Chain A
């Protein structure tokens, strides 16, 4: 099975990154850990947006090793930033086209498929400023997919959203997860998001990857006590989720 392998070392101001892992190149890997543990820095280094010493390889593609550094635009990496990052001078459709045009005919989901999957149809001709937070993130996720990456990095894509917008975007993410084979590294603080999306969880602390485990079972609530499940259900109801969805 093909793998995502990396070993990255670097200093960023006061912060030291020294992260090594070998992950299956399928499904969603959740990257969790306290604030300041280096999750965003690791993601930026994987994308080539920041530079650390070491190696990165995704399947056959070597992005970085001792002798070479592939720049971001040649990596085939998708990136969904924490805050909305649609190009402000382009409409939603033009943002999607920006990615699709440069991705050419590489294998990956087509324009119509992505638009349908993320429910972007009604938004296509709007300007990013006219969108809600959740709509912006959905468009940004669609755009990242249309770049036809071989690895998708998502940096807390829901953390800037209110509960209702989160509830709006999460089902789309689950749908992506079910229908695409694209490997995803998903940074999150939110246990519920992780439970719903992740196939495995990697924990980070102080710039290092400290533990990793496969998501325990298909039922994300299996390891919780009855009281915790009740609390979650109440929180979900408050957030406007349907029970059982």
Chain B
């Protein structure tokens, strides 16, 4: 039981870290990229692709990621020289699948946060001799910090709650790729309702705590200084 929880938390934590790192430049480009012409067209095309995991059935997503991580995939053939033949049914594969699945939950709040800042604070920074990179770190990131908190909380919670994708990619190998949501399913299958109850109730409590924290945060940010 502890093993399953540990795997789940490790997966969600790692996915959150990786996604914040990847989604920040992507969301920045979506918020500040070209506003017209072919560039703007590309931008919205990318935004649509990023949002696909929201509408796709997790099994479809899991299926494609599984194929992409399998030994025959061109992606994996790049890793063959390093002795890696496949990432299917491994923890690393699980992290990759989760990151793809939760990508929109990181990109969207960050894009909104960056767009809400508007151009003025960075113009101000430029007139104070701050280079674009400097003002990104000293102005844009601090002003978007609420977006980062929202993104982190959503990605973490969403990863804890996923089922279809992790089942397809991970195969529920105990101690390595078995997570809480899958364990609950297996406990119910085995008619071990008492244990299923404990895990399920824990997930309900966790989800409530996450949403409550998020709402409190929004409320505070709504009236106080940012």
Contacts and interface: CB of A to CB of B under 8 A. Distances in A.
Contacts of B139: 87, 89
Contacts of A147: 127-129
A7 to B, nearest CB: 22
Interface stretch (B26-34, B118-126, B160-168, B204-212): B118-126
A15 interface: no
B123 A49 contact: yes
B129 A143 contact: no
Given A87-B139, A89-B143, A99 B226 contact: no
| Listed residue (B120, B124, B125, B138) with the most chain A CB atoms within 10 angstroms of its CB | B124
Contacts of A85: 120-121, 124
Interface string A131-149: 0000000000001100100
| Listed residue (B123, B127, B130, B142) with the most chain A CB atoms within 10 angstroms of its CB | B127
A88 B225 contact: yes
Contact of B127 (A88, A89, A144): A144
A103 B129 CA distance: 7
Given A87-B139, A98-B138, A72 B225 contact: no
A79 B122 CA distance: 13
Interface in B108-124: 120-121, 123-124
A76 interface: yes
A81 interface: yes
A73 B129 contact: yes
Contact of B128 (A74, A89, A99): A99
Given A73-B131, A127-B225, A129-B225, A89 B126 contact: no
| Listed residue (B125, B128, B138) with the most chain A CB atoms within 10 angstroms of its CB | B128
A49 B126 contact: yes
A72 B128 CA distance: 9
A207 interface: no
B226 A102 contact: no
B127 A78 contact: yes
A71 B123 CA distance: 11
B225 A102 contact: no
A77 interface: yes
A197 interface: no
Given A88-B225, A88-B226, A89-B226, A77 B143 contact: no
A102 B130 contact: yes
Contacts of B123: 49, 72, 79
Contacts of A71: 126
A25 interface: no
B129 A99 contact: yes
Contacts of A73: 125-132, 134
Given A98-B138, A127-B225, A87 B127 contact: no
Interface string A79-116: 10100010111000000001100110000000000000
A105 B128 CA distance: 14
Contacts of B225: 88, 127, 129
Interface of B: 120-121, 123-132, 134, 138-139, 142-143, 225-226
5 contacts: A47-B127, A71-B126, A73-B128, A98-B128, A103-B129
Given A72-B126, A102-B130, 14 more contacts: A48-B126, A73-B128, A76-B129, A79-B123, A81-B124, A85-B124, A87-B124, A88-B225, A89-B139, A98-B128, A102-B128, A103-B129, A127-B225, A129-B225
Interface of A: 47-49, 71-74, 76-79, 81, 85, 87-89, 98-99, 102-103, 127, 129, 143-144, 147
